[in-house]
Structure 1
Amino acid sequence: MLTLLAAAASVAQAVPPAPPPPVIRTPAYRPHLVDFDSPSAQCGGRVVMPLTTVAPFTQVATIGGDPPRGYLMEFVIGADGRPLGITQRVATTTGTGYVAGSDLAPALSLWRFPASVAGARCTMTFTARAVPLDGAAVTDLYRVAALQMADTTGFQTLIRQIRKSGDCAGPGRPRMLLRAFIDDRRIPQTPGVPSFAVVSYDVDADGVPQQPGIVASDGNRVLEGAAADATARSRYVGNAPRTRCTLPFLRPATEPVYAPPMPPASAFREERCPQPVRWAQPLRQQFPQAFRRRAIEGWAIVRYDLAPWGATGAVTVLAAEPAAEFGEQARRMIAAARAQPSASGAQGCIARVQYRMASDDAAEDDAPPAPF
């Protein structure tokens, strides 16, 4: 018996150990610059090229090895060639990496198509194109930073990458005593499209900027000249000279892009609803931020019911232009509202919500970009 046990033990020792499981290495997540491309649209079964386009803002996104997802846009061509009724959803034929597409609908609403396809229903896919942040062209870094398109975390990552060139940043960097600004009113602008210019310059021992020159811009020559002049008029605390400092200038989009005409009130009749509805608190209307950045106006028509105690229900978007986002914003506002209590409530109420840019709206709320 002992002999058999010894033999069994000997056989067990002779079996080689199982190989370790394979190590699966997943690509590390890294910050990228992400742009969206779409050269044409499918309208009524044929390819239609736009007459004019506006590029969506570049995004800063942290993604891994999966390619970024794209977005499918659906819209109708208006009589003037303008995309209307824009809706946006994730494209199923592209990647899976998450990248926000908040500026796609606003940018697309500024495109223009041939009037010959007015009324056609169209689809178009914005395909993402990503470049690692540490491999991006410095002019692209300047552009994204000047347009303030990154969130707080992404912006700091972007600035750290920019500051790797030159000796202006870091300990002892020049402290600004006076910053001169540009006069936006004197800078021409394409509606819906902000302009930017980034000035590179040296600082002498007296804190005076020297040799200002444009290193990145969208081509607005008037803005470039004003930016270089404002840089030369700025002043710093005198200390050790610095080279290759950069200062961004932004001319935000403030000229309103007007919404398409709103249907008359007779187009959507109310059922049984008091006029006017007495709200317990004023409605909290919030402009869709992505459209506000481009000063694009819009409207929405929403139907809703009222419970006797004042709560809203059955909130439905009946129409919205130029994009569904205006309707969704209005729907959320009505859904969160509360009316004064009544004996029987109401059914089929209609809210006509208009989103208009206030005077000097962007100038009041958008701070100028800080020095890089």
Structure 2
Amino acid sequence: MTPTTVALSEASPAKLFEIIALQGRQAPPAVSEALSKRGDCHKQPVRRPQIVVYPDLRAFDNTSIAPAWAGIQYGIDANGAVRDVTIVARHGEAAFADTAAASVAESRFLSGSPRTACYAVFSASARATPARPRPELKAYKRPGDTCEVTREALNIPEAKMYPPAYAARKVPGWAILRFDVAPWGAVGNIEVLASQPSDAFGAAARNLVANARPNPPASGYRGCLVPVIYAIPDAVEGDS
């Protein structure tokens, strides 16, 4: 899977909600700003809440490593009533989003100028689930593989991007990758052979290896196997 880049100004509201839901307080402020620009909810003077109704979402906590979340959009009329409540994006059980939306609809604000495109994001707590044991690399060797090289010679970047959805939930993971190295040092034919507890770790590790700058081998390498381990609190790369 090849990652794509989209400017925040062009990102869909659903994608912006997803980033906030998955990254929580780690989400870049620019994401919230991009959502705010889609309406006038944050226009001064900001409408002050009179009654805030919080949903009881405890039944959805600790049920999955990829828990439910919902992005809700709504408006406020001049009298302070919440209008046009819409579930813009959600993940997981529909009941989670429905419960969150119902609580937003019951909230009230002090009177003032009408507002549109206000938003709220709700996320359930993740269940802490360790990744399955990592198989030995020899289980993935293929006939004809000629890669006998040290990790240092591959020059794989030390810093790794931890999959945001799992970093916020403190879920560890790993991935095993296979790739070739051309005589001029270019990395190619990258394969994610296995990853746990989700494909997100494989995608992150693939991007990491794609940025490797190996020392150019005389005749190239074929079938290099690399384990990439993501651990809390630090991402540590391991060898097998």
TM-score normalised over the length of structure 1: 0.36
1:163 to 33, 36, 60: 36
Distance 1:327 1:173, change over 3 A: closer
List per-residue Cα deviations over 1:255-276 (Å, max 9, x = no partner): 2214558xxxxxxxxxxxxxxx
What is the 5 A alignment of 1:1-372?
37=1, 127-148=2-23, 151=26, 155-187=28-60, 191-253=64-126, 255-258=127-130, 293-296=168-171, 324-326=229-231, 329=234
State how far apart, in whole Å, the 2-side matches of 1:230 and 1:197 are: 12
Distance 1:244 1:326, change over 3 A: closer
Provide the secondary structure at the position in 1 that maps to 2:23. Answer: coil
Provide the secondary structure at the position in 2 that maps to 1:131. Answer: coil
Cα drift, residue 226 of structure 1: 0.7
- Could you tell me which amino acid in structure 1 is paired with residue 229 of structure 2? A
Cα drift, residue 188 of structure 1: 6.8
Retained in 2: the 8 A contact 1:201–1:244?
A: yes
Retained in 2: the 8 A contact 1:176–1:235?
A: yes
Retained in 1: the 8 A contact 2:73–2:117?
A: yes
State how far apart, in whole Å, the 2-side matches of 1:251 and 1:235 are: 24
State how far apart, in whole Å, the 2-side matches of 1:236 and 1:250 are: 23
State how far apart, in whole Å, the 2-side matches of 1:295 and 1:178 are: 33
Retained in 2: the 8 A contact 1:197–1:248?
A: yes
Q: How many residue pairs end up in the alignment?
A: 156
Q: Please, which runs of 5 or more residues in structure 1 have no aligned partner?
A: 1-36, 38-126, 262-287, 299-320, 332-372
Give % identity: 28
Provide the secondary structure at the position in 2 that maps to 1:222. Answer: helix
Q: Please, which runs of 5 or more residues in structure 2 have no aligned partner?
A: 134-161, 174-195, 198-227
Rg comparison, structure with higher value: 1
Distance 1:155 1:236, change over 3 A: farther
State how far apart, in whole Å, the 2-side matches of 1:215 and 1:248 are: 10
State how far apart, in whole Å, the 1-side matches of 2:115 and 2:233 are: 50
Higher RCO structure (Cα 8 Å, ≥6 apart): 2
